[in-house]
Amino acid sequence: MKLFKKSLLKSLWVFHLPLSPCNNCDIEIVDALTPRYDLERFGIQLVGSIRHADVLLVTGVPNYKNWQKVKYLYEQAPKPCFVVAVGTCACGRGMFKDSLNSPCNVDEIVPVSMYIPGCPPKPEAIISGVVKLVERLKSNKL
């Protein structure tokens, strides 16, 4: 079991789920995967299908069109699956908090394991967030 857990932490495959963001957070996520930062060192890969994913990177604010789909997608992912909210929007909706077309926060729909604030967060912040997620998982706090 310990081996399986270790191997899970060493190869987190990331699925990128944009919920109508302003696109800056997405650019920063893609930036974190470029050769300069090279997340493949830690075994982190961007995958295209939710079935392959271990981590759901959520960016942006949920709106009435997509907030149920987040739940639907989370249920489709093979467990264990962790949700990471990237950007102020996904963490707490920021300036869209009282907006008329946003029903709720991301963490009211799915359980969020890690928040990475910033508008947008720097790639360094994203990497340190992922590292903190791995450390929390290691010490069994989740």
Q: Which residues bind ligand SF4 (CB under 6 A)?
A: 21-22, 24-25, 59-60, 87-89, 119-120
- With CA atoms as reference, report the closest residue to 59 among 100, 88, 39, 80: 88
Taking the C-alpha atoms of 105, 108, 109 and 114 in order, what is their torsion angle to the nearest 10 degrees? 80
Q: Residues 82, 55: contact at Cβ < 8 Å?
A: yes
Judged by CB under 8 A, the residue of 27, 30, 49, 142 near other proteins is 49
Would you give the binding string for other proteins spanning residues 83-102, x where CB under 8 A is met? --------------------
Q: What residues pair up with 17 in beta bridges, in sequence order?
A: 58
Does position 138 interact with other proteins (CB under 8 A)? The reply is no
Residues lying near other proteins in the complex (CB under 8 A): 3-4, 6-8, 10-11, 35, 38, 40-41, 43, 46-49, 51-52, 54, 76, 78-80
